[in-house]
Amino acid sequence: MIKYIGVHCNTSGGLEKSVLQANKLNATAFSFFVKNPLRWNTLPLQQSTIKSFRKFCNKYNYSTLQILPHSSYLINLGHPDKEKKKKSCKTLIEEINFCNLLGLVMINIHPGSSLKKITEKKCLENISNSINYILKKTNNIIIVLENTSGQGGNMGYCFEHLAFIINKVRNKSRIGVCLDTCHLFASGYQLNNKNSFLNIFYRFHELIGLKYLRGIHLNDSKGKFNSKLDRHENLGYGNIKTSVFSKIVRVIEFNNIPIILETKDASIWKKEIQWLKKQSLLPKISILNF
């Protein structure tokens, strides 16, 4: 079984550049921003861009299961302000429509933030209501919720948050989860303890279900355990043991989902991918049978 291992690619010069970069790095998965992540303005996708993106995905054998695009950082589906929440919904709808045009099947989002102005429960309700609205206005694309580090008022720093949202989403076929290792570690999930490593993912299965896991962001953490700090680091340069990353690419239940590096130093991405591929050939691990 080939593991889907790759990086978050650059789209400077066109979305199709992400496919070319992934191929150059010998990646078997990749992510990219659908649009500028720091701007609300959304320019329509050109037919030439759509054709080029699809052509290169086909040429280099990237299936939809290997690609997990990322939404704008500005989107906040849990925003305490009604108009700003509507603006976020509108932007995500546009990005979902882009994904459809590109022939993709999912998009990764940060769930949302209370901005410390409303309760966590109210914010989580805002997020689930926003998702239900967006799913009614769009087709096909799966919204993938990324866990967070717990920095500021960001929701999704615990499995209970993600379970709450998913339980309230009506169309369960179009909701999923992406687990970020840096965020897990920073929010209080002790990945470094070999006795708790598998328990963490089994707990995810109990609360949410592994069937909802659509991707993994594989990042080391600059911050210490339970620091709430969202600062990614290259593998082996932060506070998460390299053995953790080795285990993750050997987990049987993580087959057929994109495992994406979002590490800082792009100059060693190829080396990181090579190392992860090598680790994936070591004896397999199962979350459900340990």
- Contacting residues for 226 by C-beta, under 8 A, at least 6 apart: 186, 187, 188
The values of phi and psi at residue 171, to 5°, are: -95, 90
Q: List the structure tokens of 256.
A: 């057929």
Rounded-to-integer distance, Cα 54 and Cα 160, Å: 37
The annotation status of 205 as a binding-site residue, yes or no, is no
The annotation status of 161 as a binding-site residue, yes or no, is no
Amino acid symbol at 77: L
Share in percent of the chain as helix, strand, coil (round to 5): 45, 15, 40
The annotation status of 79 as a binding-site residue, yes or no, is no
Do 11 and 69 form a contact (C-beta atoms < 8 A)? no
The annotation status of 217 as a binding-site residue, yes or no, is yes
**Among residues 84, 100, 112, 85, which one has the least CA distance to residue 34?**
100
Do 245 and 181 form a contact (C-beta atoms < 8 A)? yes
Element (H or E) spanning 259, and its range? strand 258-261
The annotation status of 180 as a binding-site residue, yes or no, is yes
Amino acid symbol at 92: L
Binding annotation for Zn(2+):
70, 110, 146, 180, 183, 217, 230, 232, 262
